[in-house]
Amino acid sequence: MKYTKLHAGANDELVSNAAPRGRHVRSSRLYCLAMTLANHAEPRYADLCREVARHLSAHTGPILIFSHVDADGDALGSSLGLARALRLLGKDATACVKVPNYLRFLASEGEVRETPLEAWPEGALTVVLDVDNNDPVRVDLADLASFSGPVLNVDHHGTNKRTATVSLVDPTKAATALMVMDVVNELGAPWSSEVATPILLGINTDTGSFKFSNTTPEVLRAAADLVEHGADLVTINEQLAQQSRSYFALLREVLGSMEFLFGGLVVIARVDEGMLARAGATWEEVESYVSVIRSARGTELACLFKDYGASVKLSVRSRGKLSAQRIAVACGGGGHFAAAGATVKAPFVQARALFDREAKAELERVGLA
């Protein structure tokens, strides 16, 4: 295995994607498995949008649309918006995604396929949204290694390897749904509330309801256009604001687990099976808690640990001075500068030690430690 010293570039950098192995974990701050993060804008973005649209328009067979495991608003919204637009153009398009309960309002009964694909239809074209098509662990409901047809990948993560038939990847875009909107425009599909609403939801959720730093003028203009196209922003916000009773019971547990590290610059919290059982909650209800702890005044970084026992999932959020992406990639994951995640295949004690080490390294890198 080849290790390389970490190079801290402004847009492209080498970082570790090595997960910890046992007690003797080599610090990825000094030596790391080389991996390129291409966080720059895609200079051929408009051409690639047209290329994706050309492939979709020319294809006469079934079109299968996939996204990542643990689908969020951007994954589901992008998939539904594109599938509905393609069906309006007479295409045989199916969104294959497990719909989380809090987003059930978005999909019609039986509209999406939520079970794993057992066999590839003849003459199929595959679209992979909001995740690298090369990541067999993260792409949900399909084994892309067994697929020999064309693959179109639309994604906004800098860790994407960009090796699809057409790779439309731009990490400067706030949401994959924003990119899907551009593809729909290139397709010339008619806009309707049914197409515009899921796309707006995807943009809404990935910008924190237009509160995060990725809420650019482009985002606001796109949102305005989608509302003009019939997107129901009122329903989106009303549905996303509702929480179950168990959510609040679990919130009490999460707040009780909070810790402030490194002089209050980093805040963390933890959720495990015991806490879920006491609250009568499910893992699906955990996702938003990282935003809750992120709101702590004076912090620069927040991390929520989802402790499954044999493995731990980290959800990392930054206010802008620290790179959540660098920390997550060093822990075996990926994501964006301000929002990233990783799954560490080790017990909580080891995952916590790895995060603490990488968070400290990142604080030192930017001069806050």
Given a contact cutoff of 8 angstroms between Cβ atoms, the answer to whether 219 and 202 are in contact is no
Indicate whether 77 and 90 sit together in one domain: yes
Indicate whether 230 and 283 sit together in one domain: no
Indicate whether 113 and 234 sit together in one domain: yes
| Mean of pLDDT values over 296-310 | 98
Indicate whether 199 and 340 sit together in one domain: no
Name the pLDDT band for 320 (thresholds 50, 70, 90): very high
Query: Would 177 be classed as within a structural domain?
Result: yes
Spatial separation of the C-alpha atoms in residues 358 and 19, rounded to whole Å? 12
Query: Would 31 be classed as within a structural domain?
Result: no
Total residue count of the chain as it appears in this document:
369
Query: Would 39 be classed as within a structural domain?
Result: no
Residues 6+ positions from 220 with CB-CB distance below 8 Å: 210
Indicate whether 256 and 288 sit together in one domain: yes
CA torsion angle 346 347 350 355 (round to 10) = 80
Greater confidence (3 vs 251) lies with 251
Indicate whether 236 and 248 sit together in one domain: no
Indicate whether 229 and 259 sit together in one domain: no
How buried is residue 152: exposed, middle or buried, by Cβ count under 10 Å (0-12/13-18/19+)?
buried
- Please tell me the predicted confidence (pLDDT) of residue 178: 98
Give percent above pLDDT 70 in the chain: 90
Spatial separation of the C-alpha atoms in residues 313 and 316, rounded to whole Å? 10
Q: Mean pLDDT in the chain?
A: 90
Indicate whether 66 and 213 sit together in one domain: yes
Query: Would 33 be classed as within a structural domain?
Result: no
- Please tell me the predicted confidence (pLDDT) of residue 8: 30
**Number of domains making up the chain:** 2
Torsion 324-325-330-332 (CA) sign = positive
Output the CA–CA distances (angstroms, integers) from residue 275 to 304, 306, 316, in the order listed: 14, 11, 20
Question: How large is the C-alpha radius of gyration of the chain?
Answer: 20
- Please tell me the predicted confidence (pLDDT) of residue 37: 65
Indicate whether 206 and 304 sit together in one domain: no
Given a contact cutoff of 8 angstroms between Cβ atoms, the answer to whether 204 and 78 are in contact is no
End-of-domain residue from the set 202, 220, 240? 240
Query: Would 122 be classed as within a structural domain?
Result: yes
Question: Which domain covers residue 318, as residue numbers?
Answer: 244-365
Q: Answer left, alpha or beta for residue 100, where phi above 0 means left and psi between -120 and 50 means alpha.
A: beta
The yes-or-no verdict on residue 43 having pLDDT over 50 is: yes
The yes-or-no verdict on residue 345 having pLDDT over 50 is: yes
Name the pLDDT band for 369 (thresholds 50, 70, 90): confident
H/E element holding 353? Answer: helix 348-365
Indicate whether 169 and 265 sit together in one domain: no
Indicate whether 54 and 160 sit together in one domain: yes
Indicate whether 100 and 218 sit together in one domain: yes
End-of-domain residue from the set 240, 273, 293? 240
Q: What CATH number is associated with residue 248?
A: 3.10.310.30
End-of-domain residue from the set 189, 221, 240? 240
> Does pTM top 0.75 for this prediction?
yes
Q: Answer left, alpha or beta for residue 150, where phi above 0 means left and psi between -120 and 50 means alpha.
A: beta
Spatial separation of the C-alpha atoms in residues 343 and 102, rounded to whole Å? 23
What is the residue-wise DSSP string for 291-344?
Answer: HHHHTSTT-SEEEEEEE-SS-EEEEEEE-SSS-HHHHHHHTT-EE-SSEEEEEE
What's the pLDDT tens digit per position in 105-156? 999 999 999 999 999 999 999 999 999 999 888 999 999 999 999 999 999 9
- Please tell me the predicted confidence (pLDDT) of residue 159: 87
Q: Is 284 helix (H, G, I), strand (E, B) or coil?
A: helix
Q: Is 130 helix (H, G, I), strand (E, B) or coil?
A: coil
